[in-house]
Amino acid sequence: MSVHTHNKAIGSCGTRAGRGGGKAIGGGTGAISRRQLLAATAAGGGLLAAPLVVPARALGLAGEVAPSERIVLGGIGIGGRGSGVLNWMMAEKDVQMVAVCDAKRVARQRVKQTVDKHYGTTDCKTYSDIRQFLAERSDIDAVLIATGDRWHALASVMAMRAGKDVYSEKPSSMTIAEGRMVVETANRYRRIYQTGTQRLSEANFIFCIEMARSGRLGKIHTAYAHIAPWDAAEMRHDWLPAEPEPPKDEVDWDQWLGPCPWRPYNRTYVGGGWRGHYDFHTSCIGEWGAHTFAQAQMGIGAERTAAVVYHYVNNTTGDGMVTEFANGVKMILSRGDKYWRGSCGMRFDGTEGWVSAADGYSKPEVSKPELLADFDKIVRDYVERTGHVMNHVRDFFNSVKSRRPTVANPEVMHYSMSTVHAANVCMWLKRDVRYDPVKEQFVDDAEANRFLSRAMREPWTY
Kindly report, residue by residue over 203-229, the tens digit of the pLDDT: 999 999 999 999 999 999 999 999 999
Q: Is 236 helix (H, G, I), strand (E, B) or coil?
A: strand
The proportion of the chain whose per-residue pLDDT surpasses 70, expressed as a percent, equals 86
The reply to whether omega before 171 is within 30° of 0 (cis) is yes
Kindly report, residue by residue over 227-256, the tens digit of the pLDDT: 999 999 999 999 999 999 999 999 999 999
Listed by start position, the domains of the chain span: 68-198, 199-233+282-449
Domain 68-198 is classified in which CATH homologous superfamily? NAD(P)-binding Rossmann-like Domain (3.40.50.720)
Sign of CA dihedral 241, 245, 246, 249: positive
Q: At 9, is the pLDDT very low, low, confident or very high (cuts 50, 70, 90)?
A: very low
CA pair distance 205, 203, nearest whole angstrom: 6
- pLDDT in the model for residue 60: 56
- pLDDT in the model for residue 64: 78
Q: How far is CA 125 from CA 13, 27, 190, 257, 356, in A?
A: 9, 21, 27, 23, 44
CA pair distance 192, 71, nearest whole angstrom: 13
- pLDDT in the model for residue 67: 85
Whole-number average pLDDT of the chain: 90
Kindly report, residue by residue over 284-334, the tens digit of the pLDDT: 999 999 999 999 999 999 999 999 999 999 999 999 999 999 999 999 999
Q: Going by CATH, does the domain composed of 199-233+282-449 fall within 3.40.190.170?
A: no
Q: At 1, is the pLDDT very low, low, confident or very high (cuts 50, 70, 90)?
A: low
| Nearby residues of 202 by Cβ (< 8 Å), 6 or more positions away | 390, 392
- pLDDT in the model for residue 2: 57
Is 70 exceeded by the pLDDT of residue 81? yes
User: How many CB atoms within 10 Å of residue 147?
Assistant: 22
Amino acid in the structure at residue 75: G
- pLDDT in the model for residue 18: 34
CA pair distance 321, 313, nearest whole angstrom: 5
pTM of the model: 0.87
Kindly state the average pLDDT of the residues 107-122. Answer: 98
The DSSP annotation for 327-367 comes to TS-EEEEE-SSSS-SSSS-EEEEETTEEEEE-TT-SS-EES
- pLDDT in the model for residue 17: 34
Is 90 exceeded by the pLDDT of residue 6? no
Residue 302 sits at φ, ψ, to 5 deg, of -120, 30
Kindly report, residue by residue over 399-444, the tens digit of the pLDDT: 999 999 999 999 999 999 999 999 999 999 999 999 999 999 999 9
Kindly state the average pLDDT of the residues 196-202. Answer: 98
